[in-house]
Chains A and B, each alone.
Chain A
Amino acid sequence: MAIKVKFKDKNDDFYKKIVELSGEQVALCDQCGTCSGGCPFIEEMDINPSEIMRKVMLGQKEVMDSRTMWICASCFTCTVRCPRELDVSKVSEALRQVKLRTAIDEISIADISKEEAKKLPTIAVVGNFRKFTG
Chain B
Amino acid sequence: MDAEIKMLKVHLAGELFEVPEGSTIMMAFEYAGFQLKRGVGCREGYCGACATVYREKGDYKLQGGLACQTVVTDGMTIAQIPFVPAEKPIYDLTQLSPDVSTFTELFPSVFRCVSCNTCTKACPQDIQVMDYIQAIIRGDIARAADLSFDCIRCGLCAMRCPAEIVQYNNATLARRLYGHYLAKKSPELEKRIIEIEDGKYDKQINDLNEMGKEELSKIYFNREIKIS
Identify the A interface with B (CB < 8 A). 109-110, 112, 114, 117-120, 122, 125-126, 129-130, 133
Contact = CB atoms under 8 A, between A and B. Distances in A.
A122 B108 contact: no
Contacts of B138: 122
B112 A122 contact: no
B104 A126 contact: no
A46 B137 CA distance: 35
B109 A122 contact: no
Interface string B118-154: 0000000000000000000111000000000000000
A119 B102 CA distance: 10
Interface of B, secondary structure class, is helix
B105 A118 contact: yes
Contact of A110 (B100, B101, B108): B108
A125 B104 CA distance: 8
B59 to A, nearest CB: 29
18 contacts: A109-B108, A109-B109, A112-B104, A112-B105, A117-B104, A117-B105, A117-B108, A119-B101, A122-B104, A122-B111, A122-B137, A122-B138, A125-B104, A125-B111, A126-B137, A129-B108, A129-B111, A133-B112
A117 B101 contact: yes
A129 B137 contact: no
Contacts of B111: 122, 125-126, 129
Contacts of A114: 105
Interface of A, secondary structure class, is helix
Nearest to B107: A109
A118 B97 CA distance: 9
Contacts, number: 34
A118 B24 CA distance: 47
Contacts of A112: 104-105, 108
B136 to A, nearest CB: 10
A60 to B, nearest CB: 31
Contact of B100 (A109, A122, A129): A122
A120 B111 CA distance: 12
Interface in B73-117: 100-101, 104-105, 108-109, 111-112
Kindly list the 10 A-B residue pairs having the minimum CB-CB distance in the complex, ordered from nearest: A117-B105, A117-B104, A109-B108, A125-B111, A126-B111, A118-B101, A129-B112, A129-B111, A114-B105, A117-B101
A129 B114 CA distance: 11
Contacts of A130: 112
Nearest to B100: A122
A124 to B, nearest CB: 9
Contacts of B139: 122
Contacts of B104: 112, 117-118, 120, 122, 125
B105 A125 contact: no
A129 B112 CA distance: 6
Nearest to A109: B108
A118 B112 CA distance: 18
A75 to B, nearest CB: 21
Contacts of A118: 101, 104-105
A114 B112 CA distance: 19
A29 B101 CA distance: 44
